[in-house]
Structure formats: C-alpha cells, structure tokens
Amino acid sequence: MDLSHKIRVLVVDDHPLMVAGIKGEIDAQPDMTVLAQAADGEEALSLYRTYRPDVTIMDVRMPKLNGIDAIVAIREEFPKARIIVLTTAIGDVQAFRALKEGAMGYLLKNLVRKELTETIRAVHAGFKRIPPDIAQQLAEHLAGESLTARELDVLRKVAQGKGNKIIASDLEIAEHTVKNHIKSILGKLGADDRTGAVITAARRGYIEI
C-alpha cells in the first residue's frame, strides 16, 4: 500500500520497549505505519507540528511535559487532532483528564497487543474507542467531586507518612486547615482513614506511591 494511503501514527512514550512493541504491531499492519516517535510531551508537540500524523498514541505519564499537557497543547493548535491515550492503570485520573481534554481513545498498556490496531482504525475513522467499563468509570468520575490542587498537595504529604503539623509547616498553612483538607479528602474518596485515602487515591491515579 502506498504510504499516502496508510494511517500515519505518532507514538509518544518514554519507555523504549513499549515503543518498540507498539511500533512492531503497527508496522506489521498493511494499512498503517509509524512515521515518528517521541519520548516526552515537548518532543511530541514538535513532531506533531512537523508531521501532522493521522493518529497519535500518547502516554500520560512522561518527563518534561506530561501527556495531558501535551494533548492540550496539540489540540490548541490542531483542534482536529485524533489522540489515543495510553495508560498502565484502569481508573487512572490522568487518563480521564486526557479524555476530558479531547482524547478519542483509551488503551491499557497490558492490552496493547489485543486492542491497538482496532483502536487506531476506529479513531482514524472518527469514532471514540473507550472500553465500556472505562466509559462507566469516566462517567462516575466526571459526576463525582475531584480533589483540588491543595488537597492533592496535602495527600502527597500524607502518603509520605507526614503528620498534620509537619504538613502544615511544609505547605505553610495552619494545622487546622490541614485537618479540614484531610476531612474533605476522606469524604471525596469515600475513605475511612488516611491510609485508605492514600490507597484509593493511588488506585484511581490521583497520586503515585
């Protein structure tokens, strides 16, 4: 097939083995090809400007410029950009944010071999491709309350095992303010205690531990 008739794909991920696996799957297809690959969001934006790919596969967690900010930047310049978000975890808040910012597909890294090519074809054709269970979680997530930036700051300190007094000192806020934030965090995450909040937040992709 002539290159001009193939689906041209930009792959963005900072793990070389992951990129190699994705590239191998795509290049094995008669109707698509990898025309460029990037290891961070800044490089992704630059390569997108250069190549104008048909479909971009974007990891959400990367150095320099993360996948979410890269998606926002690309779609500001190219509103019709068709982007598939790549993530390691179901329920990843970052991936949900990517969908909110206009990503059209959702791929779990452990299902790449099974879902990759069909997801690319669907998104290239203008369809959204989001697994049903992810779509349901997305609806629940968007309907629920999100943690604020300050609550995330507090939660990260909690995850480090710090007490309220030290958190207050680190963030230069009053100790009772820390207590109020933690109360709000527990309510939003449906957690009974600090440990439960950290575990739930990590599972949902709010923080990494």
pLDDT in tens, 151-170: 999 999 999 999 999 999 99
Nearest to 104 by CA among 124, 134, 132, 78: 124
Average pLDDT over residues 107-122: 91
* DSSP assigned state of 129: B
Question: For residue 2, is pLDDT > 70?
Answer: no
Locate CATH 1.10.10.10 in the chain.
149-203
Q: Which residue has the higher pLDDT, 94 or 29?
A: 29
Locate CATH 3.40.50.2300 in the chain.
3-142
- What integer best gives the mean pLDDT of the chain? 89
Q: Which of 14-18, 53-57, 66-70 comes out lowest in average pLDDT?
A: 66-70
Nearest to 124 by CA among 21, 8, 45: 8
The band of 191, judged by pLDDT with boundaries at 50, 70 and 90, is confident
Query: How distant, in Å, are the alpha carbons of 40, 57, 120 from that of 114?
Result: 25, 15, 12
pLDDT for 146: 77
Q: Which CATH architecture has domain 3-142?
A: 3-Layer(aba) Sandwich (3.40)
pLDDT for 112: 87
pLDDT for 139: 66
> What's the sign of the alpha-carbon dihedral 158, 162, 165, 169?
negative
Residue 85, Cβ density class (10 Å: 0-12 exposed, 13-18 middle, ≥19 buried): buried
The band of 5, judged by pLDDT with boundaries at 50, 70 and 90, is confident
The neighbour count for residue 35, using CB atoms within 10 Å, is 19
Tell me the fold of 149-203. Answer: Arc Repressor Mutant, subunit A (1.10.10)
Nearest to 12 by CA among 83, 80, 79, 76: 83
pLDDT for 141: 62
Cβ atoms of 120 and 26 within 8 Å: the answer is: yes
Q: Which residue has the higher pLDDT, 7 or 60?
A: 7
d(CA 171, CA 157): 9
